Every structure is written in C-alpha cells, then in structure tokens.
DNA sequence: ACTTAGTTTTACTGAAAGGTATAATTCGGT
DNA sequence: ACCGAATTATACCTTTCAGTAAAACTAAGT
C-alpha cells in the first residue's frame, strides 16, 4: 500500500488557528477565516482536526501548553521570596498579555467570556471552564502552604488573596486587549501586591 | 391625514434589545434573537430603529444613561471622605455587575472586547471607544483635584491610581460574568483601595 | 362608513455560515 | 513508468444571517 504525506505542517496550521480564535473568539471565527489563515482548504481541516469544535479544543490546549503552563512554573521557584516570586509571575503574565508581537490579552479570558453567550458547543465549553477555575488552585495553595505566607498570616485569607491576584490579571487582560501597554499596567499589579499585605 | 399608533412600547423593546446585546454581544446577537425577545417582527424593528447597528447604538446609550451615569454620581458626593466615596462607588459598581436579577458583568466591558475582533461596524465601534476611555477622566480628576488626595500625595500618581481602579473593576466584571458573586469579590476592591495608599 | 397613513405580517432575497460529496492531484511502493 | 492510497481542490448542500418588498391590517380624521 502507498500513503501520501500531508503537504502542510499540522502544528503550524494549529498555531495559526489558535491565533484566529484568540483574535475572534469561537463563534466569530469562521471556517473561511480559519482555513485562510491556516493556509489550507476546508476538507483538509476537517480531515486533520475533525470539525470546528475539535480544532478549537486542540488550539486551546496549545495555548495552555505554550503560554499558561510555562508561566505558571514561575510560581514554583521556591528559592525566591514569596513576594518576588509572585511579582515575577504576574509581570510575566502581563508581558504576555501586552506582547506587541502577538495577540493582545489572554486567550482563555477572552474565550471564557463567550461561555455566557451560549454560543460555544458543550465540549469546548467544558474545557474552557476546566482550565479557568476561579480562583486557580495554584494561587490558593501559594498562600495556604508557603511558610512566608503563613508567617504573615496571609494563609488565613488564602482564597481571598488568590481571588485578588486572579481578578487583577483578568483586568489587565481586558485592558491589554483594548490596547493599553505594559508600562501603564505595572502599577496595578504592584497595588494589589501591596494591598493584600505582602512584604 | 390619518396616523396609526405603534402597537408596542419602543422603550420596553429597546430595554429588551439591550439585554440581548449584553448577553450575546453585537455579532452573536441575531435579529431573530433580538426581535423574539423584543416581542416584535423584523420590519417593526427596522422601521422603529433603523438597522441592527442603530439599535445597538441606542441600546448602548440606554445602558450608559441608566447604569453608568447614575453610578458615576456617587463619586461626586463631596460630603463624604475620599476613601468612603470611592469605596461606595466601587461597591455599587460591583453590586450591579453581580446583580442576580440582571445580566452579569458590564455591558460596556463585554462589548468593548468585541472591538478587537473587527466584527463591529464603525459607528458602533466609535461609540464603545468613546464611552470606554482608558482610564476614565472622572477617575483621574478624582485623584488630581480632591484635597484629601493631594494631601496624601496621590495626585502625583493620579493617572496610575485611576488605571488601578479601572483595571480592578474590569477584572470584577470579568469574574462576575463567569458567575462569581459579590461576596467573593469585595476583598479585591478593598485590596486595591489599600494598595494605592488611600487611608 | 370610508379614506388613508402608518404598522404589522408574511414571504422572500442574496450572502455567508458549517459541513461534505466528488473529482483532481500528489507521491510512496513496486 | 505505473498503480494505489491518501490528500487536495472544486463545487455543492442545508441552514441561518441581515435586510426588504408587498400584502394585510389597524385606527385616526372626515
């Protein structure tokens, strides 16, 4: 038997699709938009990824693996003081939200807001909810388990502190999406860090 | 000449349309959605409001007049100390974002994010930008002009402080949209108020 | 009661949506 | 060089989109 190789790079095409979803969201990203940016035809997309929803799920996973996960690692660098570690993480997140060479804002935050419109199919919706837990357990544990946090008594409000961190980052994502650059948003992050009593 | 009165209340219909746009955004709100909720037929909508874009503009104005404006008044109650005044305002905004009897989140914040998708017609886009200036001048002036703010030296960072207030409210709007209730977000607001150094 | 302006209903338009059947093409195995 | 299987391109499907033409209806002025 003879097999013919695909003429396009599936990973490159998926990355292109991710950027379209990042810009347009799920509902407004048409197959014409997607396939044009991916550089392939509709039947090629369907044979390679299944359908629009499956493509979205793979694109979302790509965002999580390449953007969310690596940034989250910054919270685990135990050799740094808690405040510095948290600040590094948040500033990195802000940097990505404002990256002039990429789509602005946060893919997850943007598409998550589409859930409330009822325009996203069930499987895709579940994935968005699963990876956008409010507030993220990693944030809660940071305040609950860290010795410095416990010493400062911040563990007693671990949930609230986690919510504050998450909420301000949602805010900066929204601002970044509207074109505000990093320099104008750094102060917001430092305000929250100071506000929750981290020294 | 003889005239026939409209059989539906234009204000009621517009309020219904506003709620559809609030839930779906501009692009995903279909005329079928809109007219069904408004309780009228398509030709009635076109004769009463013009077209989808004109309807959206009138709905947006209604939101500004009934929600944004009255809440903004709370910032002008000069008899209260600055901190209390600001906190009252922010808590009222949060209350509206989390109102269980209404759509969650902020109509302006939600629809503003659609601007970056390129799916909104020019006139509607301009209106969203015009009424969602970053950060709002009222916030800047609050820190620039208020005697208390000047005494605390907050006027020197009026722009940054305004941005922090605006950003956290965008964050809570995003959270509220995802179903988080008021009680879980109040702490975020107090964190920012404390963080910018308001006493 | 009749005329008539204005409203509402019905039925439609062309375009674009997601998705697919079919035919043309490409390329590895022999 | 040619066979055969997988991929690609073309052209189409049904549904839904925003928007509208025309007919049916409603009610005010006479």
In angstroms, how far is CA B105 from the centroid of its own chain?
A: 9
Closest CA to D26 C1' — which residue? Answer: B4
pLDDT of A33 over the 70 cut: yes
Tell me the pLDDT tens digit for each residue of A159-184: 999 999 999 999 999 999 999 999 99
pLDDT recorded at residue B2? 63
pLDDT of A143 over the 90 cut: yes
Structural domain including B166 reads: 10-195
Percent of chain B past pLDDT 70, that is, above it, reads 99
Contact A27 B28 (CB under 8 A): yes
Q: Is residue A101 part of a domain?
A: yes
pLDDT of A1 over the 70 cut: no
User: Count of domains in chain A?
Assistant: 1
CB-closest option in A109, A166, A187 to B163: A187
Q: Is residue B2 part of a domain?
A: no
Q: Nearest-CA neighbor of A177 among A122, A58, A113, A97?
A: A97
Tell me the pLDDT tens digit for each residue of B63-73: 999 999 999 99
Q: Is residue A174 part of a domain?
A: yes
Tell me the pLDDT tens digit for each residue of B149-164: 999 999 999 999 999 9
pLDDT of B5 over the 80 cut: no
pLDDT of B4 over the 90 cut: no
Q: Is residue A57 part of a domain?
A: yes
Q: Is residue A2 part of a domain?
A: no
Percent of chain A past pLDDT 90, that is, above it, reads 94
User: Which residues of A are less than 8 Å from B27 in CB distance?
Assistant: 27-28
pLDDT recorded at residue A6? 84
CB-closest option in A105, A157, A170 to B171: A170
pLDDT recorded at residue A157? 97
Q: Is residue B106 part of a domain?
A: yes
Tell me the pLDDT tens digit for each residue of A38-81: 999 999 999 999 999 999 999 999 999 999 999 999 999 989 99
CB-closest option in B112, B119, B192 to A195: B192
Q: Nearest-CA neighbor of B107 among A112, A117, A23, A165?
A: A117
A127 in B contact zone (CB under 8 Å): no
Protein-contacted positions of strand C (CB under 7 Å):
3-11, 16-22, 25-29
pLDDT recorded at residue A2? 65
Tell me the pLDDT tens digit for each residue of B77-130: 989 999 999 999 999 999 999 999 999 999 999 999 999 999 999 999 999 999
pLDDT of A148 over the 80 cut: yes
Mean pLDDT of chain A: 96
Give me B124's structure tokens.
Answer: 């509607």
Provide long-range contacts, Cβ within 8 A and 24+ apart, for B66-72: B67/B96, B67/B107, B68/B108, B68/B131, B71/B96, B72/B138
Q: Nearest-CA neighbor of B131 among B68, B189, B190, B89?
A: B68
pLDDT of B1 over the 60 cut: no
Contact B27 A27 (CB under 8 A): yes
Q: What is the CATH number of the domain that holds A160?
A: 1.10.357.10
Residue A4 pLDDT class (50, 70, 90 cuts): confident
A34 in B contact zone (CB under 8 Å): no
Cα–Cα distances in angstroms (integers) from residue B148 to residues A42, B123, B138, B199, in the given order: 62, 40, 16, 10
Percent of chain B past pLDDT 90, that is, above it, reads 94
B181 in A contact zone (CB under 8 Å): no
Q: Which region among A135-144, B6-15, B104-113 has the lowest average model confidence (pLDDT)?
A: B6-15
Q: Is residue A191 part of a domain?
A: yes
Distance from the Cα of A192 to chain B's closest Cα (Å) equals: 5
pLDDT recorded at residue A59? 98
In 10 A of CB B195, how many CB atoms?
24
Closest CA to D3 C1' — which residue? Answer: A2
Predicted ipTM? 0.94
Mean pLDDT of B173-181: 97
pLDDT recorded at residue B22? 98
Q: Is residue A4 part of a domain?
A: no
């Amino acid at each position: 038997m003879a097999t013919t190789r695909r003429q396009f790079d599936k990973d490159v095409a998926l990355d292109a699709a991710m950027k379209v979803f990042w810009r347009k969201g799920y509902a407004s990203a048409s197959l014409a938009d997607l396939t044009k940016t991916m550089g392939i035809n509709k039947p090629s997309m369907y044979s390679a990824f299944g359908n629009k929803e499956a493509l979205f799920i793979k694109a979302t996973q790509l965002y999580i693996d390449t953007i969310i996960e690596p940034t989250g690692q910054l919270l685990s660098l135990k050799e740094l003081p808690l405040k510095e570690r948290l600040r590094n993480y948040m500033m990195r997140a802000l940097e990505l939200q404002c990256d002039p060479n990429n789509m602005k804002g946060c893919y997850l935050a943007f598409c998550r807001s589409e859930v409330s419109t009822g325009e996203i199919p069930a499987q895709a919706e579940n994935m968005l909810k699963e990876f956008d837990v409010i507030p993220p357990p990693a944030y809660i544990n940071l305040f609950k388990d860290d010795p410095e946090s416990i010493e400062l008594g911040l563990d007693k409000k671990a949930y609230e502190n986690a919510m504050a961190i998450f909420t301000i980052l949602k805010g900066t994502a929204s601002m970044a999406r509207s074109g505000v650059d990093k320099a104008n948003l750094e102060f917001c992050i430092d305000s929250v860090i100071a506000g929750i009593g981290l020294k």
